[in-house]
Each structure stands twice: as C-alpha cells, then as structure tokens.
Amino acid sequence: MSRDGIERPGAQEWVPSGGGLDSLRTAARDCRGCELYGPATQTVFSKGSELARVLLVGEQPGDQEDRRGEPFVGPAGRLLHQALGEAGIDPQDCYVTNAVKHFRFTPTPKRRLHRTPDVIHVEACRPWLSAEMALLDPEVTVCLGATATRAVLGPSARVLRDRGQLFPREAPPGEPAMRRAAWTTVTVHPSAVLRADDRDTAQAAFVADLRVVAAALAPAG
Ligand code: URA
Ligand code: SF4
C-alpha cells in the first residue's frame, strides 16, 4: 500500500533520510507500509542506544509489547534478559529491535494469538531495519529465530545449522563503512526456549550461543 493507492507494500516512503534514531522512532509511528498497522495498537520500534555494541533482532512484537510499545517486555523478553545476564552481556550494551514492527495476531474471544509474519511483511518492514543497521555500528548482530535470521542474512541461513557461529558482517551497499570489526550470529528465538519440551536444556543452549557473543566483544575501554 502507498499514499498514491497503488498496491506496493513497503515502509520506504515513511523512512526519513538523515537524522538519528529519534527521528526514525517518531516517523515509524505513522508507518502504513503494510496492513499490519491496522489491527495493532501501535508501532513497536526498538530499545537501546546508537552506541550499542550488540544488536539483537527479534521477529515482531508480541501481545504485551504491542500494548506497552516496547520490544521484549513480555515472557520472551524476560527470558532473553535473563539469558543475556547469564551470558555476561550488559543490557546497557544492547540495542533490541524486531524484523517486523507491528504485532500480527489472530483475535480470539480470550486473547490475541500470535501469528508469524509472512515474507511480505518482513520485506515491507525491512527499510526500518536497514535504517537502524545503517545508524548503529554494533560489534555483534544477533538474529533471534528464523524470521530475524532470514531478514538479516537472507534465505540460505539456517538457525539450527548456523546457531552459535560468528559470520563476518559486511557493510551492505549504501551503509557507511563500519568503524569496528563486526560479526553476525544466529540463535533460537527465546519463545522457542519457552515452548521447548526440555526447557532447561534449551535454555542452556541459548545461553551458550549468547556466551559466544560475549566472547566476541572486545574488552570495553
Ligand atoms: N518476540 C519478539 O520477537 N519480539 C518481541 O519484541 C517480543 C517477542
Ligand atoms: Fe510499517 Fe512495518 Fe508496521 Fe508494516 S509492520 S506498517 S511496514 S512498521
């Protein structure tokens, strides 16, 4: 969808050129780049500073994120923050965002059921993620689950095959030259840990992947 009424999904026309994170955050409130803005409460943009050393990319906001307007504040977020702590990653060093910035759900009488975004939603929302990635200069980018992995690394990456490995991050075309050595890595989504039959084992493996991130961070200072 676009302002001229032609079916052409995509956030691009809402993304301001120039400006920092604040201008992105403000502009994203009005995005109509795909139909997901309609039933959702609000755009959930990101949390964290431009100076973050770790960029964490999730899938899309969940029910609580949609209500509160902040990423990873529901059950998956609590698990993520606990795992980051166990891995020795300082939350102050993290910037947290999602591949898709509106909550996609199926309404039911009792609750709004999470619905995985389609490729078309990830593609429509990509201009926001690209703009964030162009502003930040993280040492490690962490893709949480399949949607984020696909959004950042493309369709050939595989979460279970590639998890816990560090891939050199190249500056995409149009992105300013990177100021520091940078890596991209992949792990499962914290919601998958919450759903796992063997929760303790799944959580330990998730923390192990995040320890790889912690080890890749050059000592601060
Ligand atoms: N799951 C996500 O992928 N992102 C959030 O912000 C919350 C849950
Ligand atoms: Fe815009 Fe992304 Fe929301 Fe779609 S999901 S309306 S592209 S911010």
- pLDDT tens, residue by residue, 66-93: 999 999 999 999 999 999 999 999 999 9
Q: Which of 55, 189, 193, 195 to mutate to test the pocket of ligand 1 (most atoms within 8 A of CB)?
A: 189
pLDDT-derived band at 115 (thresholds 50, 70, 90) equals very high
What percentage of the chain reaches a pLDDT higher than 70? 90
pTM: 0.93
Other C-beta atoms closer than 10 Å to the C-beta of 21 total: 17
Question: Over 80: is that where the pLDDT of 24 sits?
Answer: yes
Q: Alpha-carbon distance 217 to 212, whole Å?
A: 9
Question: Over 80: is that where the pLDDT of 6 sits?
Answer: no
Please report whether residue 185 resides in a domain: yes
For atom 8 of ligand 2, which residue has the closest CA?
101
- In degrees rounded to 5, what are phi and psi of residue 94? -105, 145
pLDDT-derived band at 18 (thresholds 50, 70, 90) equals confident
Please report whether residue 1 resides in a domain: no
Contact between 145 and 125 under an 8 Å Cβ cutoff? The reply is no
Question: Over 60: is that where the pLDDT of 4 sits?
Answer: no
Please report whether residue 54 resides in a domain: yes
Number of domains in the chain: 1
Looking at ligand 2, which atom is closest to the CA of residue 10?
7
Please report whether residue 6 resides in a domain: no
Domain of residue 133, CATH code:
3.40.470.10
What percentage of the chain reaches a pLDDT higher than 90? 87
What's the gap in Å between 125 CA and the centre of ligand 2? 5
For atom 4 of ligand 2, which residue has the closest CA?
34
Contacts of 218 (CB under 8 A, 6+ apart): 139, 180, 181
Chain centroid to Cα 88, Å, comes to 20
Contacts of 195 (CB under 8 A, 6+ apart): none
Please report whether residue 221 resides in a domain: no
Please report whether residue 171 resides in a domain: yes
For atom 2 of ligand 2, which residue has the closest CA?
125
Average pLDDT over residues 52-69: 98
Looking at ligand 1, which atom is closest to the CA of residue 147?
3
Please report whether residue 4 resides in a domain: no
Q: What is the DSSP letter of 142?
A: E
Question: Over 80: is that where the pLDDT of 11 sits?
Answer: yes
Q: Which domain holds residue 28?
A: 12-216
Question: Over 70: is that where the pLDDT of 44 sits?
Answer: yes
Contact between 93 and 142 under an 8 Å Cβ cutoff? The reply is no
Please report whether residue 81 resides in a domain: yes
pLDDT-derived band at 113 (thresholds 50, 70, 90) equals very high
Question: Pocket around ligand 2: residues whose beta carbon is below 6 Å from it?
Answer: 11, 28, 31-34, 36-37, 43, 100-102, 121, 124-125, 128
Q: Please return the burial class of 167, using the count of CB atoms within 10 Å of its CB with bins 0-12, 13-18 and 19+.
A: middle
Question: Shortest CA distance to 136 belongs to which of 85, 188, 171, 101?
Answer: 171
Question: Pocket around ligand 1: residues whose beta carbon is below 6 Å from it?
Answer: 58-62, 65, 71-72, 74, 76-77, 98, 191
- In degrees rounded to 5, what are phi and psi of residue 117? -65, 150
Chain centroid to Cα 87, Å, comes to 19
Counting ligands in written order, the one closest to the CA of 8 is: 2
